[in-house]
Amino acid sequence: MFNVQFLNGGYMTNILEGAKGSRHLLMGNEAIARGALEAGVSVIAGYPGTPSSEIIETLANVSSQQNLYVEWSVNEKVAMEVAAAGSFAGLRTMAVMKQNGVNVGSDFLLHLALTGTRGGMVLVHCDDPGALSSANEGESRHFARMLEIPLLEPGDFQEAKDMIKWAFKLSEAIHNVVMVRSVTRLSHASGNVIFGALPVKEKKAFFKHDGGLLDPLEGPMSSLPAPVRHGQQQEKLARAMAEFEASGFNTYSGPEPPELLMITSSACNLYCKEAISLLGLEDRVGLLKLGTTWPLPPDLMQTYLKMTDRILIVEEVISFLEDNVKIIAAELASKIGSKIFYGKREGFIPSTNEMNPDLVLAALAKIMEINYEATPPAYARRSQELVVSGAPGRDLTFCAGCPHRASFWTLHNVLQLDGRQGFGCGDIGCYSMAVLPTGFSTLKTLHAMGSGVGLASGFGKLGQFGMDQPVLATVGDSTFFHAVLPALINAVHHQSDITIVVLDNSGTAMTGFQSHPGLPVDAAGNEVPAIDIAAVCQAMGATVRISDPFDIDHTQQTLLELFEIKGLKVLVLKQACALSPQKKGKKMFDVSVDENICLGQNCGCNQLCTRIFKCPGLKWNPEQQVSGIDEVICVGCGVCASICPSGAIQRKEVA
Amino acid sequence: MNHVSLPYDPYNIIITGVGGQGNVMASRVVGNMLSRQGLQVTIGETFGASQRGGSVMSHLRISTGSSWSPQIPKGRCHLVISLEPTEAMRVLASYGNPTVKVLCNTRPVHAIGVISGDQQYPPLEDIKSWVSELSEACWFLEATAKAMELGNPILGNIMMIGAAAGIGVLPLARQDFEAVISEAMPADKLALNLTAYDLGAQMIGDGNKEVG
């Protein structure tokens, strides 16, 4: 039912095929998955989030052959807890999430870091510098320093695989969780990777708990007594730091000594190499690529910091490596002398957005006083001139046939009809785009998963201060389980007067149709009990209605009726995502425009279909002044036929 | 292992298009074909918003040496494979240079601003002359139209791969294509994909070449 290879453009890679020493082109996330298999991982849990999702998908695909337990957990905190349970029972386990997920799980992670682990446990977190597929570019490296656990960062695709293997070993050596951080440009990029061997796993799960309170291997797993555990935790971190001194993941290339030392980690490693190569600085500039970025190994740092007095630090978003290098340099000042740093604080490297080779080139060229031109000036000028009319911008939009377009069409229209300046509160998912014109700018708040309902719960209590604007909150079906439940209970309990709209499109659509608790299938494709969203809301005491968003009239009527009822209302809008595997390639309707009926600009509708509704499956023909259908893009949902006031857009059910 | 020679090392390819055109699939197929020749391949992809009407780019770095940055530096592209005409223009403005080659599918995908009438989609003849001016060599192919004759517009991306093989600058071999598709897709899809690939390669021979 669910095609777990969806996000990869339909391209299937079998990470089991291939002997030790064979060479494969793998996406970073596939390399991480292969590394976990080579380490003998048994339990893997996570919550979908770009750019991390393919790690779990890849492992779920091979779960039966490799005897893995793989789950899409309800949220990241539970994922960490599920993975920790496996570790406590002696197995190697992995929790996987995007950067925001570490925030969600951090409450448990703080306790876990204090308690420690038994079987190797690795937390893989994929950050998204530049927020290419996120609503923020917050990063999770800082948790490693805050929670005092080791942090590793792969610098290419081979390392993405090998480092995971090593992280499990390290975790078992120090008996604590190890963080491995990837970024979008590694997770979603691909490179050649050489396979290692797959081990034979024979370990039986058993949780030893009858030793003394402080016995780390056979006692109960608890963070108490906290100050004692905290001391043990810091000893573990010191042991990791000692291991890092000799780690092969910290590499140096370049002359000894160099005129300038570049220090970097992660995907920036590849940008730095590119910049050095394009400027021809291989004989003048050295590159220290660090794979063990917290805590930094001081002896190794002393060796390289001593070589030169000019240092450029290259990393993405806010400074982490830079701060840590500067602290070490201050501590070592009597041995290494004073340094001139070029980094974020000095204005050479930006503190927002992702890095790329050009930004590193610019910084390096400036420091080394080299003139670098990416493109001959005449070409650059002409191409910039032509692109203005040559490539109209592409605003993000809901896909053709997306149920969200139909849903927000109705939500927007009902709020307009009501006339009291009502608004929607949103959160993370494809429906976040309803802050934009593609969702008729219906959403006026956009924050973390589930936050729309929490905010609505608060707005709904402002009646005593004179507020009478209707308040809607929109949530996705997966989000409902992830983070909405506590806010929903809060709103019911406090009788907040709001309407929650569940946009149920039958899957975690934005990240590629991963399963969630509302579906009868799990990550590995097994049949599991589904939890009914409407029944849950009803049991809590909410007034619940269900509608098909493609039935515009019924949905509008239902919503208007709900506005008349006091207290907490839930409207479940059920229609599968246009890209869902069960829908893809199947048209419900053949849609066409009768050009004799379409009045174009002479119709009173103000080109409702193409100017306002704006489905990408529609076309506007400026010469003939009529609308049309793009048959390559239209998926045949038929909704545009129900909004056309003149009946020019016609739909015929596909047999 | 690296007996293959490249016109440039790394050789930089950008496959561009609009979300839903099969861009990611195309980049993985081309990357795997070249990887089978013993070359080091790095692919950088931007997706996430890719199904949602946005421009999508895959950057491919082909080398006899090592992995390269998954983002090509500005002005350093050697071959643009564009699944949509205006996307070729967008790529050239950032990554083009006087020696770049361009393969371009002629079927437009209108942006939302064009559908609403707020923006104008440029005439195809204009795009052809601009791309020609900004490239060393370019080819315009009616790949989507041909793919629709085969029953599925998405096959346009496979035709463009066939065409890329047809221009002969890279070691793209039909038997590698066959092997890659056999590994990556259900067996019943092979014949149709091979037909699309061959049609794409033929289009290059059919006098589609225009030199700028």
Please tell me the least confidently modeled range out of A6-10, A380-384, A537-541, B195-199: A6-10
Q: What is the pLDDT of residues A424-445, one digit of tens each?
A: 999 999 999 999 999 999 999 9
Structure-token match 């139909």, residue found: A406
Q: What is the pLDDT of residue B209?
A: 57
**Cα separation of B44 and B46, whole Å?**
7
Mean pLDDT score, B55-63: 95
| CATH at A563 | 3.40.50.970
B67 lies in a domain? yes
Average pLDDT over residues A368-391: 96
Number of domains in chain B: 1
Q: What is the pLDDT of residues A25-46, one digit of tens each?
A: 999 999 999 999 999 999 999 9
* B158: Cβ contacts below 8 Å, ≥ 6 apart: B22, B26, B29, B147, B193, B196, B197, B200
Domain-embedded: residue A395: no
Q: What is the side-by-side strand order in the sheet with B101-105?
A: A23-27, A190-194, B40-45, B55-63, B11-18, B79-82, B101-105, B137-141, B209-211
A215 and A89 in a common domain: yes
Quick one: B127 exposed, middle or buried, by C-beta within 10 A (0-12, 13-18, 19+)? Answer: buried
The values of phi and psi at residue B101, to 5°, are: -110, 145
Distances (CA, A) of A500 to A558, A574, B114: 13, 14, 34
**pLDDT tens-digit profile of A92-108?**
999 999 999 999 999 99
Instruction: Give, in degrees to the nearest 5, the angle at Cα A477 between A83 and A566.
Output: 125
- How sure is the predictor about A600, in pLDDT bands with cuts at 50, 70 and 90? confident
B54 lies within 8 A of chain A by CB:
yes
Burial label for A539, CB within 10 Å (0-12, 13-18, 19+), is: exposed
Clarify whether residues A425 and A551 are in a common domain. yes
In this structure, what is the dihedral angle of CA atoms A133, A136, A142, A147, given to the nearest 10 degrees? -90
CATH number of the domain bearing residue A643 = 3.30.70.20
Which chain B residue shows the shortest CA-CA distance from A272? B69
Question: CB-based contact (8 Å) between A16 and chain B?
Answer: no
Judged by a CB distance cut-off of 8 A, whether residue A392 touches chain B is yes
Instruction: Select the residue of B93, B121, B133 nearest A392 (Cβ to Cβ).
Output: B121
Amino acid B212: pLDDT: 38
Q: Is residue B47 predicted with pLDDT exceeding 50?
A: yes
Q: What CATH number is associated with residue B32?
A: 3.40.920.10
Asked if residue B186 is part of any domain, the answer here is yes
Q: A633 in contact with B at a CB cutoff of 8 Å? A: yes
Q: Model confidence at A266, in pLDDT bands (50, 70, 90)? A: very high
Q: How many domains does chain A have?
A: 4
State whether residue B145 sits within 8 Å of chain A by CB: no
Q: Give every CB contact of residue B184 below 8 A, 6+ residues apart in sequence.
A: A11, A12, A13, B28, B29, B32
Within this chain, do residues A439 and A354 fall inside the same structural domain, yes or no? Answer: no
Residue B102's DSSP bridge partners are: B80, B138
SS (H, E, C) A211-226: CCCCCCCCCCCCCCCH
Is B111 domain-assigned?
yes
Cβ atoms within 10 Å, residue A521: 15
Query: Going along B2-160, which residue ranges are E strands?
Result: 11-18, 40-45, 55-63, 79-82, 101-105, 137-141
CATH (domain of A328): 3.40.50.920
Sheet holding A151-152: strands in order across?
Answer: A69-72, A43-46, A93-98, A121-127, A178-183, A151-152, A292-294
- The pair phi, psi for residue A595, each rounded to 5°, is -65, -20
Considering the domain architecture, whether residues A472 and A517 belong to the same structural domain is answered as yes
CB atoms near residue A506 (< 10 Å)? 22
A-B contacts (CB, under 8 Å): 220
Q: What is the pLDDT of residues A291-309, one digit of tens each?
A: 999 999 999 999 999 999 9
* B51 interfaces chain A, CB cutoff of 8 Å: yes
Contact criterion met (CB < 8 Å) for B40 and A191: yes
Both A230 and A286 in one domain: the answer is: no
- Structural domain boundaries, residue B171: 11-207
pLDDT at A8 over 70: no
* Cβ pair A267:B134 closer than 8 A: no
Cα B67 to chain centroid distance, Å, stands at 21
Structure tokens at A501: 């709209």
Question: pLDDT averaged over chain A?
Answer: 94
Best of A127, A156, A394 to substitute, by most chain B Cβ atoms within 10 angstroms, is A394
Strand stretches in A285-324, DSSP E: 285-289, 292-294, 310-314
> Is the CB of B86 less than 8 angstroms away from the CB of A391?
yes
B173 is a domain residue: yes
Which of these, B125, B50, B54, B51, lies nearest to B90 by C-alpha position?
B54
Q: Are residues A478 and A526 in the same domain?
A: yes
Q: Is the pLDDT of residue A185 over 80?
A: yes
Instruction: Please check the confidence at residue A314 and state whether its pLDDT lies above 50.
Output: yes
Residues of chain A contacting residue B13, judged by C-beta atoms under 8 Å apart? none
Please give the biggest Cα pair distance in chain B: 54
Whole-number pLDDT of residue B59? 97
CB contact under 8 A, A394 and B55: yes
List the beta bridge partners of residue B42: A191, B61
Choose the weakest-confidence range: A463-472, B1-10, B129-138, B159-168: B1-10
* Gap between the Cα atoms of B23 and A490, Å rounded: 45
Is B82 at the interface with chain A, CB within 8 A?
A: no
Please check whether residues A478 and A499 belong to one and the same domain: yes
Bridge partner residues of A260 (DSSP): A285
pLDDT, tens digit, 9 for 90 and up, residues A35-81: 999 999 999 999 999 999 999 999 999 999 999 999 999 999 999 99
Domain extent for A557: 403-574
**B-contacting residues of A 342-361, CB under 8 Å?**
356-358, 361
Here the tokens at position A25 are 């082109």
Using pLDDT thresholds of 50, 70 and 90, give the confidence band for residue A1: very low
Nearest to A579 among B51, B97, B183 (CB): B51
Please count the CA atoms within 13 angstroms of the CA of B102 that sit on its side-chain side.
35
Query: What local confidence, expressed as pLDDT, does residue A5 receive?
Result: 37
Ranges A196-205, A377-386, A406-415: which has the least confidence: A196-205
CB interface of B with A, residues 115-144, below 8 Å: 115-117, 119-122, 126-127, 130, 133-134, 144
DSSP string, A116-128: --SS-EEEEEEE-
User: Which of chain A's residues have a Cβ under 8 Å away from the Cβ of B55?
Assistant: 394
At position A149, the amino acid (one-letter code) is I
Q: Does pLDDT of B210 surpass 70?
A: no
pLDDT for B207 beyond 60? no
User: Mutation test of the interface with chain B: which of A137, A383, A621, A624, choosing the one with the most B Cβ atoms within 10 A?
Assistant: A383
Q: Which of A11, A187, A402, A436 to mutate to test the interface with B (most CBs of B within 10 A)?
A: A11
Q: How far is CA A525 from the centre of its chain?
A: 22
Chain B interface includes A377 (CB < 8 A): no
- At residue A67, what is the residue type? N
Buried b (16+ CB within 10 A) or exposed e, A94-108: bbbbbbbbbbbbbeb
Co-location of A274 and A201 in the same domain: no
> Is residue A4 predicted with pLDDT exceeding 60?
no
Q: Do B86 and A390 touch (CB under 8 A)?
A: yes
Q: Grade residue A174 by pLDDT with cuts at 50, 70 and 90.
A: very high
Residue B84 to residue A505: CA distance in whole angstroms = 30
Q: Rounded CA gap, A173 and A92, in Å?
A: 13
Same-domain status, A498 and A636: no
Band of residue A9 on the pLDDT scale cut at 50, 70, 90:
low
Provide the residue type at A41 as one letter: V
Residue of A127, A632, A635, A640 to mutate, testing the B interface (most B Cβ within 10 Å of its Cβ): A632
The distance between the two most distant Cα atoms of chain A, rounded to a whole number of Å, is 86
Q: Which residues contact A640 (CB under 8 A, 6 or more apart)?
A: A591, A609, A613, A615, A617, A618, A649
- Decide if A213 contacts A222 (C-beta within 8 A): yes
For B95, other C-beta atoms within 10 Å of its C-beta total 25
By three-state DSSP, how is residue A598 classified?
coil
Domain boundary among A179, A214, A245: A245
Task: Give the pLDDT score at B205.
Answer: 76
The reply to whether A583 falls in a domain is: no
Is pLDDT of A606 > 90? no
Q: What is the C-alpha to C-alpha distance for residues A528 and A471, in angstroms, rounded to an integer?
A: 35
Q: Which two tokens stand for residue B158?
A: 């496979």
Write out the DSSP string of A400-439.
TT-HHHHHHHHHHHHHHHH-S--EEEE-SSGGGGGGSGGG
- A536 within a domain of the structure (yes/no): yes
Q: Are residues A544 and A610 both part of a single domain? A: no
Verify that A255 and A348 share a domain, yes or no.
yes
pLDDT for res A7: 41
Residue tagged 């509302």 (tokens): A518
Å from A18 to nearest chain B CA? 12
- Check whether residue A146 and residue A12 sit in a common domain: yes
Is residue B73 over pLDDT 50?
Answer: yes
B4 occurs within a structural domain: no
Q: Are A567 and A543 in contact (CB under 8 A)?
A: yes
- Facing residue for B71 by CB, picked from A356, A375, A632: A356
Pairwise CB contact (< 8 Å): B67 & A192: yes
pLDDT tens per residue across span A628-646: 999 889 999 999 999 999 9
Is B175 part of any domain?
A: yes
